[in-house]
Amino acid sequence: MPETPPDLERASAQEVIAYAVERFHPSLKTACSFQKEESVLAHMLSQIAPDATLFTIDTGVLFPETLTTWKRFEERFGLTIEVIDAASPQGAWTRERCCGQAKVDGLERALAGVDAWITGIRREQAPTRADARKLERDERRRLWKLNPLADWTEKQIWEYIYANDLPYNPLHDQGYESIGCAPCTLPGSGREGRWAGEEKTECGIHL
């Protein structure tokens, strides 16, 4: 990577992904939690780099709708989906006994040996994400992090999904704007449904 990375803030999402593929592939992975943003990213990746790798962190307490969406992703996009096991060895994760650290540990395993990763982060999702750039340094992991959809609005996400007839998690139609594990996710706008009633808004993966 050049000492002075390119400024991708004016680049389209497809251009950011194309840059990531050209510069880092195959030492590049894309985080996937089967939410609407990943519907968009998976579609773009399948067109730009059909041999790209998605990874998902399976806590063992995903919604049934998420598991169904997972299968539809495999059928539609044909991308490799690497599964990182973050299930609890001592009974299922609960709201009180959160899977947060297990997800962070799973992320470290997923990103071991790669140079960059792609996420579905958007600035309007939460104040904790408002400063996200399309290309930034993940100093904690000494990797490059690309957020191709950083400046996309909710409206743009849905317009793209409908225009391309993409599979998406049906929980979005039930008021879930952000979808995590079943024990700690409720319907809500933005990330309000995640750990509702608590100050917590991030599991630790993007902190």
How far is it, in rounded angstroms, from Cα 21 to Cα 50?
A: 11
Closest by CA to 169, choosing from 76, 62, 70, 56, is 70
Tell me whether strands 80-85 and 53-58 are parallel, antiparallel or unpaired.
Answer: parallel
How far is it, in rounded angstroms, from Cα 82 to Cα 56?
A: 6
Q: Is the Cβ–Cβ distance between 124 and 96 less than 8 Å?
A: no
Which residues are annotated as catalytic?
203
Neighbouring residues of 15: CB distance < 8 A, sequence distance ≥ 6: 8
Tell me the per-residue pLDDT of 78-121, one tens digit each, with 9 for 90 and over.
999 999 999 999 999 998 888 889 999 999 999 999 999 999 99
Output the average pLDDT for the chain. Answer: 91
Q: How confident is the model at residue 3 (pLDDT cuts 50, 70, 90)?
A: low
Provide φ and ψ at 92, rounded to 5°.
Answer: -60, 150
Tell me the per-residue pLDDT of 161-184, one tens digit each, with 9 for 90 and over.
999 999 999 999 999 998 999 988
Neighbouring residues of 20: CB distance < 8 A, sequence distance ≥ 6: 28, 116, 118, 146, 148
Residue 54 carries which DSSP code?
E
Q: What's the pTM?
A: 0.89
The domain made up of 13-184 is a member of CATH 3.40.50.620:
yes
pLDDT on residue 128: 87
